[in-house]
Amino acid sequence: MSSDKRKGEHDWGSTFVEAVFLPVEAYHLEDRLGPRIPHDQRFEVPRIPALVELCIQAGLDLPEYPTKRRRKPIVKIGRKEFVDANEDDLPDPEPDKFKEPILEEVSDDEITPPSSPEETAALAEETLKMWETLRNGALRLMKRYSVRVCGYCPEVHIGASGHKARNCGAFKHQQRNGQHGWQAAVLDDLIPPRYVWHMPESGELQKELKIFYGQAPAVVEICIQGGAQVPEKYKATMRLDIGIPSSLKEAEMVV
């Protein structure tokens, strides 16, 4: 049904974890200093979660996604040309005895909800802590390794130079022949927070009072509803210090 027939109302249904924690994918580079991915090879290069690719370039070894590791700095022979340094004098690298494949995703049927309010609150606190750990760790890696984002669409590339795949579908992409406009990315490009309305105690949002409601990332909001304490950094956007009128008439009296 079109938006005008619904008068802008949402059609709510069940959701998945991907709606709360938005997946962002990027091309996996076997050699992060190699040539840029051309357009005609865009389907030959695997795409993996961008956060995983950032961790791989930072040193994480995953058997599923091999990558070239250099133990000596490269030797530049031109403005954009270089050769690998001779590593024959170095000892053979130790076997990767700690390499492990990516953990398999747990199916929805195997996930059980908390059995008590105490367990729910503990899980909410742990999840919120992991959310902050994830974002802080990603931000630190982004200060060391380049992450690029298209200025027209949400496409993300982990590397100093963006790829050459012409798959940008943003507004007026025909004028650019589908080419991306690469620029430095910020943390929210890599891990989108997906802001949602902060639910008041009444549990019901009114369209006429939306200017009084605060917002928080979906992960944070679900943890707070589960019993976690509100982190100090989110209190301003959640507008916890603002009283919400009980009716439209009361809202009109607000100065």
Percent of the chain with pLDDT over 90: 43
Would you say residue 3 has pLDDT above 90? no
User: Once rounded to an integer, what is the mean pLDDT over residues 216-236?
Assistant: 91
d(CA 169, CA 184): 19
Q: Select from 50, 53, 67 the least CA-distant residue to 149.
A: 50
Closest C-alpha to 144, from 57, 47, 48, 79: 57
Which pLDDT does position 62 carry in this prediction?
Answer: 87
Rg of the chain over all Cα atoms, to the nearest angstrom = 23
Does pTM top 0.75 for this prediction? yes
CB-facing half-sphere around the CA of 121: CA atoms within 13 A:
7
Residue 131 parent element (H or E): helix 117-142
Helix (H) or strand (E) holding 149: strand 147-150
Tokens 């009361």: give the residue.
250
Strands 182-184, 195-197: pairing is unpaired
Angle made by CA atoms 127, 116, 113, in degrees to the nearest 5: 55
The answer to whether 227 touches 124, Cβ cutoff 8 Å, is yes
What is the model's pLDDT at position 167? 92
Angle, vertex CA 142, rays to CA 140 and CA 145, nearest 5 = 115
Using 50, 70 and 90 to split pLDDT, how confident is the model at 135?
A: very high
Query: In this structure, what are the phi and psi dihedrals at residue 172, rounded to the nearest 5 degrees?
Result: 60, 30
CA distances from 203 to 71, 124, 199 (A): 57, 19, 6
> Is the model's pLDDT at 249 over the cut of 80?
no
Which of 91 and 230 is assigned the larger pLDDT?
A: 230
Contact 37, 163 (CB under 8 A): yes
